[in-house]
Chains A and B, each alone.
Chain A
Amino acid sequence: MKQDDSAQHDGTGASFDKRLEAARLKAGLVAKPKPDPNRSPDDNPLTMAMRLGSEMVGALAIAVVIGYGLDRLLDTAPWFMIGLVPIGAVAGILNVFRAAGSSRPNTKPKD
């Protein structure tokens, strides 16, 4: 019983420091570490899983819509569609890379 108590006390002692640190950070007493711009802001894997698929399809869909619309408007079928679908596919892949947070290498200068 005694040992349990002391072990628990030690545990809360360690977590107290952590919580104090977090509280000071929140109250603005300590400078907040700058968020890493290269890191994706949401590293929750479930969020990621929800995002990636639609990011890719969305870009392709919008490219098809623009291509089809321009072709209808300018009577140039099917050339705009042909040109824009690869662009949409590339944009979709770019979106997925962005969402995964790996499109910005560390060497890129920050402006």
Chain B
Amino acid sequence: MVEMDPLSQFHLQSGLGTLGRIIDFTNSNQMMVIAALIVITVMGIGLRRAAIVPGRMQGLAELSYEFVHNMVIDTIGEEGKRFFPFVFTLFSFILVGNLLGLFPYFFAFTSHIAITGALAFFVFFLSLIVGFWHHGFRFFKFFAPSGVPAWLLPLLIPIEVVSFLSRPVSLSVRLFANITAGHVMWEVFAGFMLMLVSSLGALGVVAALIPLGLNIALTALEFLVAFLQAYVFAILTCLYLHDSIHLH
């Protein structure tokens, strides 16, 4: 029987050899640093020579810039320009992290709820601060929509508060669950292949083509999910900032 544990791929190990063990630098930290360096390098190379006719790297940099810029302006409005650097950093970091996690033997740091939770709570507190900055204590009107009869308020305010507090939870769980589920499915199907081959022999080799095909299809899906989750995280960040600025 083949021993397999689809969750072992998410175990933290120390990165960078002995030095990493001393200062508790994990493989997750390592991938985060690599992701950040990749983003900075791509942007740096892309913007080094601002050619009229952009080359590949410049095209990539400008394309991602325009994509996030349009998203921020369309969602938050003109005031959203200030938040563009933040949203762009968030989007590119999560996107590169998701994509790096797709490589075999690479660690997907977005598969840890500690990471996605930290990012989501940062967004949550930022939207709170922006709300209070713009509206002061009138921000609490956010929880009591206008045009609601007074007798409904005792029921409605807790609902709105819970709905508001659920934002960082759904934001972090969505990203973490999608990435984790994708990676687990990959490993489970790969495990099926090993099981079939080891237990059925020649027939198993033929039967193992089915999970292999599924895994290939899953690879395409995972690329989509990697992009989509980064996009959803970024657009929800914009949406929450929009709500803080415009109060619904």
Contacts and interface: CB of A to CB of B under 8 A. Distances in A.
B140 to A, nearest CB: 14
Contacts of B231: 47
A87 B170 contact: no
Interface in B153-208: 158-160, 162-163, 165-167, 169-171, 173-174, 177-178
Interface size for chain A: under 10, 10 to 19, 20 to 34, or 35 or more residues?
20 to 34
B228 interface: yes
Centre residue among A42, A58, A66, A111 by max chain B CB count within 10 A: A58
B146 A95 contact: no
B170 A58 contact: yes
Query: Main SS of chain B's interface residues?
Result: helix
Contacts of A51: 170, 174, 232, 236
Contacts of A95: 163, 166, 170
Interface in A28-47: 35, 41-42, 46-47
Contact of B174 (A50, A61, A63, A108): A50
B245 interface: no
A6 B16 CA distance: 63
B44 to A, nearest CB: 26
Interface in A4-36: 35
B68 to A, nearest CB: 14
Given A57-B170, A109-B147, A94 B232 contact: no
A50 B162 contact: no
Query: Main SS of chain A's interface residues?
Result: helix
A27 to B, nearest CB: 13
Given A87-B158, A108-B147, A50 B229 contact: yes
A91 B75 contact: no
A57 B232 CA distance: 17
Centre residue among A41, A84, A98, A109 by max chain B CB count within 10 A: A41
Interface string A57-87: 1110111001000000000000000001001
B62 interface: no
Given A54-B177, A55-B170, A62-B166, A90 B159 contact: yes
A50 B221 CA distance: 13
A84 B242 CA distance: 28
A19 to B, nearest CB: 15
27 contacts: A35-B77, A41-B75, A41-B238, A47-B235, A50-B178, A50-B229, A50-B232, A54-B170, A54-B173, A54-B174, A55-B170, A57-B173, A58-B166, A58-B167, A61-B166, A62-B162, A87-B162, A88-B162, A91-B159, A91-B160, A91-B162, A94-B159, A94-B160, A104-B248, A109-B146, A109-B147, A111-B146
